[in-house]
Structure 1
Amino acid sequence: MRQKIFHLLKGTPLNVVVLNNSRFYHIGTTEEYLLHFTSNGSLQAELGLQSIAFSVFPNVPEDSHEKPCVIHSILNSGCCVAPGSVVEYSRLGPEVSISENCIISGSVIEKAVLPPCSFVCSLSVEINGHLEYSTMVFGMEDNLKNSVKTISDIKMLQFFGVCFLTCLDIWNLKAMEELFSGSKTQLSLWTARIFPVCSSLSESVAASLGMLNAIRNHSPFSLSNFKLLSIQEMLLCKDVGDMLAYREQLFLEISSKRKQSDSEKS
C-alpha cells in the first residue's frame, strides 16, 4: 500500500504548514477511543465534549466525576454502565450491566452482563437483496489481524483469551477453510465466519452475546444452524442507509423524551 501511494504521489509538490498552539489527538484504536472519551479529559475540555451527549440516561449522578461516555443512546434507568466505557447509538434495557473499558455501538441489548474490555458492534447487512443484521463481538486485547496459513495452525488464534479451536468446539463449528472468507492462506479472527445473521437487530445481539457467554462459561452454544459472516464480510455488505435510518429513529425518540422531560420540569 505504501508503495502504491508513493508511486501515485511521486513528483507531486508537497507543502508543510506549521500550526501554532495546536495539538494532535490520534483516535485510531479502541484503546485511544476509550482514553480520550472517558479517562483523559484534555480533548473533552478543549472541544467542549460532554460525557453524556444527546442521550436518555437517567441513572447517572450529576455530581459524579467518573462517568461513562454515552452518545446518542437510550438507556433504561435500571441498567448499569461502568466508568471508562463508551455506549453510542444504542438501546440498553433494565437488565443490562456493562463493565469497565467496553465499547457498545449500534446495538439493542435487552438483557446481558458484559465482561470488562468487550467490544460489541451491530451492523445492518444486505444479503441477496434482503435486509438482515449481524453483531460482531470480541475482546479489546484480541488480535483480529493476527493470521495463520493453515487450518492446523488456527489453534494459535485466541478469542477472548481462549484458544480459537476450543471456541469452535463450543460453538459446534468445524475447523475448515470454508469457515474463513478471503485468502485461504491468511486465516484470522477478521476473516472467521463466526458471527450470526438474524432478522432483527436485537436477535443478532442476543445471538452474538450468547456465543460470548458460552466461551466464558465453557458451555455449548451451537452456531451450526445460523448463517454466519466474518467481520470482513459484514463491512463489505453493510447497509449504511438502514443504519442511518436507525440513528434517525433514535434521534426522534430522544428528542421526544427530552421535550417531555423539560415540560414536566417546568
Structure 2
Amino acid sequence: MDGDLSSLLTAATARKLKKYDSLRGCRFTRGQFWDVVVLTASDEKQAECYKHQMEVKRKRQEFPLGVSFHVFADPPGPKIGDGGSVLFTLSELDKLYGKQLESKHILLIIAGGYSQRLPSATVLGKLFMALPMGERAYQMLDLKLAMYIEFPLWFGPGVFVSCSDDIEVYDASQLTMPGANGIVALAHPSPLHVGTMHGVYVLNRDAGMQVCKRFLHKPTIDEMHKAGAVLQDLTSNPDEFVYTDSVYHISLSTSKTLKMIYAQLNPLDCEVDAYGDFLQGLGTEVDLGDMKVTKNISRVSDRLIQVKKHILCCLKGTPLHVLPLDRSKFYHLGTLHEYLYHFTRDDNFRNELGIVSNSFSSSKPDTVAQSSCVIHSLVNGSVKTGSVVEYSILGQEVVVGENCVISGISLNERAIIPNNTFLHTVSVSKNETSAFVTIFLGISDDVKKSVSSLQEFSALTMLGRALSFNLQIWNLDLSDDLFTNPGCGRSLWNARLFPMCETMELSAATSLKMVAAACEGKKVDICRDWEHLSLADVLQRKDDKMMLAHREQLVEALGTKVV
C-alpha cells in the first residue's frame, strides 16, 4: 500500500513542480500565487544574508513576477521564538500594508534561528539548502513555493504559516477547501513515534475538514492514547497512527487577534511557540484550567508563565479546523541523520521528490555510489554509499567514506575522509580580509550537549572519543578560554576547535588532519599561532557573500563540464 501511495505522491509532486516552473519569471493572475512571501530571521545579520540570496534569485527570475518579498529580523533583545516571530511579523506587515492586508494571500516561512543539528545549512539558512532534484537548481524555498502552489486557491486572504526545514508531499486533487474563520491546519497520518516530536490533533474519524477536539504538543504515546488521538484503519493502514501538524492558515480575524496580543505584550521578552502556544488552547474539548503551559520547557520563569497564559486566554474560542490529508507524507530535514537518511536511503522520499545521485555536477563514471548525492560539485575522486557532497571540488585521489556530509570543501591532494564525517568550509572575515574555517564533526556528535563546568568536561565526546582526549591530540589547552561565552555553557557549539586558514584548500586539509589524528589516536602538529574559532564564532564572522560568490563561480564552471 505504501508503494501505491508513494507512486501517487510522485505524480502529484511532478504536477506541482511543472506548474511552478511555468510561473517562474512570469506574471501570475490574481489568486494564482502568493501576493506576499515573508521570511523571518533571528537577527539583522541573518536577515541581510537572506535578503541577498533572495535578490540573487529575483535577478535570475526564479520567482513569479509581482510577488512582494520581505525579510523581518526579530527585534534585538531576548529570544522570542518562532511564535514571537509570527507576532512581530504580523505587526510589521500591518505597518506596511494596513487595510490592504484584507485582500492579500501571505506566505510566512519561519526561518530564523541557527541550526545546531544541521550545521551545513546554518550559515546560509536551511531555506536555501540545495536539493538534488535533477538539472534544475532547486532550493528548499523553491520546493516550498511549488508544493504550496494550490493553497492561494484553497484559502481566502490571510496568513499561511510554515517552517523552513519540513517538506509536505501530498495529493489533494479531490479536495476542496471551504472558507473558514480562525485557524485551518493541515494534518498528516504519522507513526506514533513521530507524534512524540511534533504536534498531534485529536479528531473524529470523519472524512474531510472538521473541528479539532484538542491539540497535543509533543505528547507521549500514553497521552495520545488517553486523549483518543490514536487511530487505525484496517483497510488501508493496519498500523496505529496519529494526525500530526505541519502548516496552518490564519484568517484575517485571527490575525487581528494576534496583532492585538503582540501590542499588549510589547516588548515581548520571552520565547513563544507558534504551535504549542497558539494551538494548544484551541479545540472543543480543551480545559484551560488543566493546561500545563510549561510542558517541554527547560527554563521556566514567572514572566514566561504569564505570557503563555495571556496568549491562551486571548485565543480562547478561536475555531481550530483541521483538514486531514490522508494521501500525504511529512518529512523533517532538521538533523544530519534526517538529511542523510532521506537523501540517500529513503527510496520513497527520493522517488516522490525526484532526488538524483548527480545533480548539476561533474564526476567520473562509476565513482559515485547510486545511494549517494553529489550536488553542484566537481568530483574526480570517489564517493561511497550514503554520503552527500555539495558545492565542493574533490581531486582524483580523494575518497569520501560512507555516511558523510561534505559541504564547500576544496581538496586536491590525496585524502581519505573517514566514514561518518561532517566537513564544511565557511568563509569568514579576518582583519578586513577573507579567511576560511573548516568545521569538522562526527555525524552523531551532539553539538547541543552542554556542561556547566570544566569538571564535567569528560561528558563531551567528539568523533567517537572523549573531547578531552582529542584536545591532547590537537595540542589545545582545556580552559574557559577554549569556549565562546562559557557562562552560557560549554559545548561543541561554542568550543574554539577549528583553525582559521588563508585558503580553502589549506583549511580543509588541516581540519582533515585533525579528524584523522582523532580517529587514529596520534598527535598532530597544528600551528599554535593560528586563531581557532567555534561554530558560534563562525556565525558572527561569516562572510556569506564570499561563500555565495564561490558557489556562483563553481556553478558557472560546472556549466561547461556537465553533460
Q: How far did residue 61 of structure 1 move?
A: 7.1
CA displacement 1:224-245 (0-9 Å, x = unmatched)? 2221000111122211101110
2:445 match:
142
Tell me the SS of whatever aligns to 1:242. helix
* Equivalent residue number for residue 173 of structure 1: 476
Alpha-carbon contact 1:177-1:184 (below 8 Å) kept:
no
- Matching of residue 242 in structure 1 with residue 546 in structure 2: yes
Is 1:91 aligned with 2:393?
yes
- Superposed, which structure 2 residues align to 1:30-109 within 5 Å? 30-60=336-366, 66-76=370-380, 79-109=381-411
Which sections of structure 2, spanning at least 5 residues, go unmatched? 1-79, 82-269, 278-306
Paired residue secondary structure (2:343): helix
Any conservation in 2 of the 1:97–1:114 contact (CA below 8 Å)? yes
Q: Does 1:232 align with 2:536?
A: yes
**Contact between 1:148 and 1:185, CA under 8 Å: does it hold in 2?**
no
Q: Secondary structure at the match of 1:94?
A: coil
SS at match of 2:490: coil
Q: Distance in 2 between matches of 1:49 and 1:147?
A: 36
Name the stretch that deviates more: 116-125 or 126-135: 126-135
Gaps spanning 5+ residues in structure 1: where? 262-266
Report the alpha carbon displacement of residue 178 of structure 1 after superposing the two structures with TM.
0.6
> Aligned-residue CA RMSD in angstroms?
2.2
SS in 2 for 1:152: helix
Q: How far off its partner does 1:197 sit?
A: 0.3
1:127 Cα offset (Å): 2.9
Structure-2 change in CA distance of 1:162 and 1:101 (3 Å):
same
CA contact (8 A) 1:60 1:67 kept: no
Asked if the contact 1:97/1:112 (under 8 Å) is kept, the reply is yes
Partner of 2:334: 28
SS of the aligned residue for 1:45 comes to helix
Larger Rg: 2
Q: Which runs of 4+ in 1 moved over 6 A?
A: none
Whichever residue aligns with residue 135 of structure 1, its letter is T
Judging changes above 3 Å, is the alpha-carbon distance between structure 1 residues 204 and 61 closer, same or farther for their aligned structure 2 residues? closer
- Summarize deviations over 1:191-215 as a string: whole Å, max 9, x none: 1101010111111111111111111
Decide whether the 8 Å contact of 1:124 with 1:243 is kept in 2: yes
Under a length normalisation based on structure 1, what TM-score does the superposition of the two structures give? 0.88
Residue matched to 2:555: 251
In the alignment, what sits opposite 1:18? 323
> Aligned with 1:137: secondary structure?
strand
User: How far is 1:72 from its partner?
Assistant: 0.6
Corresponding residue number in structure 2 for 1:264: none
- Alignment-derived partner of residue 210 in structure 1: 513
Is 2:461 the counterpart of 1:152?
no
Question: 1:159-184 deviations in whole A, cap 9, x for unaligned?
Answer: 11211111111111111101100233
Take 1:85 and 1:92, find their aligned partners in 2: how far apart are those partners? 14
Aligned equivalents of 2:401, 2:484: Cα separation in 1: 32
Task: Mark the CA change 1:242 to 1:19 in structure 2 (over 3 Å): closer, same or farther.
Answer: farther
Q: Which amino acid aligns with 2:456?
A: D
Does structure 1 conserve the Cα–Cα contact (< 8 Å) formed by 2:361 and 2:377?
yes
TM-score, reference length from structure 2: 0.43
